[in-house]
Structure 1
Amino acid sequence: MDSKYLFSENPQTVATALNKLIAEDRTSVAKKNARIGQRYYEYKHDILDNRIFYIDDNDKLQEDLYASNVKIPHAFFTEQVDQKVQYLLSNPVELKVEDEAFQKLLDEYYDEDFQLFLQESLEGASKKGFEYAYARTNQDDRLCFQVSDSIQTFSIYDDKLQDQRVIRYYDKDITRDGKNVIVTAAEVWDDKQVMFFITDKNKRFELDDMRDPNPRPHVIAKDEAGKVYERSMNTVPFYRLSNNKNERTDLEPIKALIDDYDLMACFLSNNLQDFSEAIYVVRGYPGDDLSKLRQNIKAKKTVGTDADGGVDVQTVNIPTEARKTKLEIDKDAIYKFGMAFDSTQIGDGNITNVVIKSRYALLDMKANKAEVRLRAMLKWINEMIVADINRRFNKKYNAKDIEINIVRETMVNEKDIVDIEKVEADTRQVVIETILSVAPRLGDEEVLKLICEQFDLDWEEIQLSLEEQEFSSGLQEDTDPIEGDENAAAGQVEQGTGTAI
């Protein structure tokens, strides 16, 4: 069945379309990659499924249950996702408008819960390729936002890419016919209403008769008197935040490198454990087979031989340096192709701000790409928030008047900053001395201009201030002492003299 049937007003037609579309979505390549990204973020790597095999005496492949099989996932991906999110959103996103009343209303929406929502959205998009933001109304009749898991959410568009439906589905436990069963619930959202569906005994979707009304508007509320209020948001209350143009996860470029690093590190541990003891070369062993010999050596540390037999002890040199080199190569590639900041870099010890900035270059590039898409989502959010403010307070604010500020923070070498400021101050002092040395040839006005340039001062304001001082001093000098009060007059002249000096 085609996805166009989801745009039908007939609930039965929509339910029939859901049966196929949800099944296809569960098995899609995008959702498969999203699950892998989610799994690796929780450091559940492929190395945890590693098994070791050998060929037995009958040339059959057998799993070696006694060999060392270290399974250590190295959480590079978790670090890089958290690093990207915290680097971009370490400071809360700020909104600024000129209207103070408007600013106060916006601050109610951009609270701590909203900042947490932004971090979860960016985190989900990074590890799953895309994430959904969902707008709803809380108990205070105020718009708020939360994340809708993209693994269980997808969008459908019409042929002209104008009309949209968003489907969200999830499994839940219910009691049916006195038994606890797992069913799948689905919601179909458009710009006016939402329809609720649930699977029946045959795993087919049908309209959920436990929801009343169904379909219903986006928002239903009751006041203290029991009166019901219904309204719609006049837009689909979902936004799809893409990680990039192709909606690839941040894991895909580095997954093979992380798997190789896990393998190299774990098998180095296996070799150190398995070859911590010597290898025994047995001649003339009259036992049953080599498998039994192996167990005898491991358990009893002894082996019996015939009269012509013997045991030669051999040791093995483990190529640790080669493995360490390979691990370093993999780690460098993981941070390079993951476009992340490697905090373990040492360098030559000359950690200037230029060096620090160069080490953040790749992370800056990745953050720039994420910030563009984050700002697009914030634009949608601001339009929703302003519409909600206008509804609640009967205002006519415009979302275009909002300025969004996203400020990142990086580590800096404070000593380097102090040294640079000292050099700049010394250079400015030399320039000032040079200007003063040629002052008689330039004139007072030109000297004042050059000095103002060095200190980033407004020459016109300084000039106006000096003129006002001269005018005030002139009035003071032309004022005659009051007759009969010579002491006061003398004090006034004395004070003026002190000011002039």
Structure 2
Amino acid sequence: MDITKLKKEELVKYIDAKIAEFQLKKEEMQESIRYYNYEQDILLKKRWTIGKEGKMQSIENLPNARIIDNQYKKAVDQKVNYLFSQLPSIKCDDEKYQELVQDLYDSRFLRTLNKVALESYLCGISWLYVANDNGDLSMTKMDSTEIIPIWQDRNHESLDAIIRVYQTEEYKDGNIKMIDKVALYTKDDVRIYLRDKDYTEIKEEGYLEKDGLRYSFGEIPFIYFKSNSSEMPLLKRVKSLQDAINAILSNYYDNMLEDPRNTIMILKNYDGQDLGEFRQKLAQYGAVKVSTGVDGADGDVNTLEVNVNSENYRLILDLLKEKLIENAMGFDMKQDKTSNAPNELNIKSMYSDMELDANQTALEFTASLEHLERFLKQIKNIKDDDLLTMTEFKRNLMVNDEATINMIIQSEGLLSKKTLLSHHPFVDDVDEELKAIDDEDNIEMGDYVDEEE
């Protein structure tokens, strides 16, 4: 369906329907972001007791710890920094084009890519908006909770349009007011509307305007980045485990603070109506009234102590953390394998789950960067579509440098010097290192010639 051919009334209904359809996905994204920022469900925790007639009711005067042990944030940060803490390595047969791409992939780009990767794990998908900035490619990370993609295909690989729902500030008469807007991006232009009843159109503009003419890229200038092909936020894998960890810690702390109530009560001549009332008063006041019975027997309250076994809590907590790491496909730096100097096999085993997940993410991001280069070629007026770069994301993993260097030494004569240097732990820029080696060889050769003369 070509939505640019819809009449205004039909277009408004279509946009409203897409916004409503996106709402559930948006709520999932916002929940994931909140969990990352320590705004988790445990903060809504209440204490409950059995009241009159056996009904549950919340009570306010009991210890009510709300402890957050944010293992989810740790897992997300591990994944982002494992794959996106270093600039990707670029290889291209055309040296001029490789230099152009390397200039694009600078430290500023790495910072943007790191933010994009973080949001792709939190939201399942993240977005870059690209533009022509006086002959250079500019990129802006967009808020994924604002972007509603209209896909051409079921695999979600090609875009038909983008709907952006957002707010802007307007300063008027000494007050700042938030204005709701909707932007519709197509391959030809962008239309911006007020999000009012009639979707009043504010403006329509091209992606680049020069000498009164509009220019476009021939496609929508948005690039998606997915952490996985199903666009699933990482939180969906581990939310129940994260909630359980918080609950265990909070409940354990509550039990430690209410030692006088860790008992089973044995009642004699209780001055009350029923056990429900007794439980309520005991929970609220920590005391009950007893009386002398009609037969002259004195009232009394005896107790049986219920001890809190900290080892049970520790066992459950350790199990939950282990399962969260497994489901998040992360790694545990506290494993026994890392207690001493680990060998290469132990390191690979420790990172195996992380590596499997990273491979899928790297595949998705590589395809997205190829898409980014298509816009770069248009802006730089490069017609050769056969120019392709091989992008490799460097893993930020613990390595045994000594073993790596020994393998490189043993491989001399079997592999090229450039390949060996690319894997050397002390080399950051292979081309610069090769140039430095050549310069040293030339200096030594010059010294040798001087001595001969």
- Between the aligned partners of 1:275 and 1:5, the Cα distance in structure 2 is 68
Deviations 1:25-55 (A, max 9, x none): 22x3x33322222222223222222222212
Which sections of structure 2, spanning at least 5 residues, go unmatched?
A: 416-451
CA contact (8 A) 2:225 2:364 kept: yes
- Between the aligned partners of 2:412 and 2:161, the Cα distance in structure 1 is 60
Instruction: Give the match for residue 386 of structure 1.
Output: 377
1:363 matches 2:354: yes
Instruction: Give the match for residue 136 of structure 1.
Output: 131
Instruction: Give the match for residue 330 of structure 1.
Output: 320
1:403 to 360, 368, 390: 390
1:273 to 257, 260, 269: 257
Which sections of structure 1, spanning at least 5 residues, go unmatched?
A: 209-213, 222-226, 429-453, 459-498
CA contact (8 A) 1:261 1:327 kept: yes
- Between the aligned partners of 2:340 and 2:414, the Cα distance in structure 1 is 39
1:218 matches 2:207: yes
- Between the aligned partners of 1:131 and 1:95, the Cα distance in structure 2 is 23
Instruction: Return closer, same or farther for 1:293/1:345 CA change in 2, 3 Å cut-off.
Output: closer
What is the CA distance between 1:403 and its match in structure 2? 3.1
Instruction: Give the match for residue 329 of structure 2.
Output: 339
1:412 to 370, 390, 399: 399
Instruction: Give the match for residue 446 of structure 1.
Output: none
Deviations 1:70-109 (A, max 9, x none): 1122212211111111111222023344555444433432
- Between the aligned partners of 1:199 and 1:266, the Cα distance in structure 2 is 43
What is the CA distance between 1:457 and its match in structure 2? 7.7
What is the CA distance between 1:10 and its match in structure 2? 4.5
> Which aligned pairs between 1:42-121 and structure 2 lie closer than 5 A?
42-121=37-116
Instruction: Return closer, same or farther for 1:134/1:25 CA change in 2, 3 Å cut-off.
Output: same
CA contact (8 A) 1:19 1:205 kept: no
Instruction: Give the match for residue 199 of structure 2.
Output: 205
- Between the aligned partners of 1:45 and 1:192, the Cα distance in structure 2 is 42
- Between the aligned partners of 2:28 and 2:253, the Cα distance in structure 1 is 30
Instruction: Give the match for residue 456 of structure 1.
Output: 413
1:262 to 226, 229, 246: 246
Instruction: Return closer, same or farther for 1:311/1:10 CA change in 2, 3 Å cut-off.
Output: closer
1:231 matches 2:227: no
CA contact (8 A) 1:5 1:17 kept: no
Classify the secondary structure of the residue corresponding to 1:215.
strand
Instruction: Give the match for residue 247 of structure 1.
Output: 231
- Between the aligned partners of 2:44 and 2:175, the Cα distance in structure 1 is 35
Instruction: Give the match for residue 20 of structure 1.
Output: 17
What is the CA distance between 1:120 and its match in structure 2? 1.8
Instruction: Give the match for residue 467 of structure 1.
Output: none
- Between the aligned partners of 1:349 and 1:46, the Cα distance in structure 2 is 38
State the TM-score, normalizing by the size of structure 1: 0.71
The AA in structure 2 aligned to 1:21 is K
Stretch deviating more after TM superposition (310-319 or 119-128): 310-319
- Between the aligned partners of 1:232 and 1:106, the Cα distance in structure 2 is 22
The AA in structure 1 aligned to 2:201 is L
State the TM-score, normalizing by the size of structure 2: 0.77
Instruction: Give the match for residue 186 of structure 2.
Output: 190
The AA in structure 2 aligned to 1:363 is M
Deviations 1:377-423 (A, max 9, x none): 01001111122112xxxx555462433232223112346668x77xx
- Between the aligned partners of 2:325 and 2:47, the Cα distance in structure 1 is 29
CA contact (8 A) 1:97 1:103 kept: yes
- Between the aligned partners of 1:229 and 1:245, the Cα distance in structure 2 is 39
Stretch deviating more after TM superposition (5-14 or 163-172): 5-14
Instruction: Return closer, same or farther for 1:339/1:186 CA change in 2, 3 Å cut-off.
Output: same
Classify the secondary structure of the residue corresponding to 2:237.
coil
Instruction: Return closer, same or farther for 1:325/1:192 CA change in 2, 3 Å cut-off.
Output: same
Stretch deviating more after TM superposition (404-413 or 370-379): 404-413
- Between the aligned partners of 1:247 and 1:103, the Cα distance in structure 2 is 31
- Between the aligned partners of 2:235 and 2:44, the Cα distance in structure 1 is 19
- Between the aligned partners of 1:25 and 1:235, the Cα distance in structure 2 is 23
Instruction: Return closer, same or farther for 1:278/1:37 CA change in 2, 3 Å cut-off.
Output: closer
Instruction: Return closer, same or farther for 1:162/1:313 CA change in 2, 3 Å cut-off.
Output: closer
Structure with max Cα Rg: 1
Q: Which has the higher contact order (CA 8 A, sep 6+)?
A: 2
1:316 matches 2:310: no
> Which aligned pairs between 1:421-432 and structure 2 lie closer than 5 A?
none
- Between the aligned partners of 2:271 and 2:357, the Cα distance in structure 1 is 66
- Between the aligned partners of 1:349 and 1:102, the Cα distance in structure 2 is 46
Deviations 1:165-184 (A, max 9, x none): 11111134547899865442
What is the total number of aligned residue pairs between the two structures? 404
The AA in structure 2 aligned to 1:375 is T
Aligned-residue CA RMSD (Å): 3.5
Instruction: Give the match for residue 7 of structure 1.
Output: 4
Classify the secondary structure of the residue corresponding to 1:105.
helix
What is the CA distance between 1:359 and its match in structure 2? 0.3
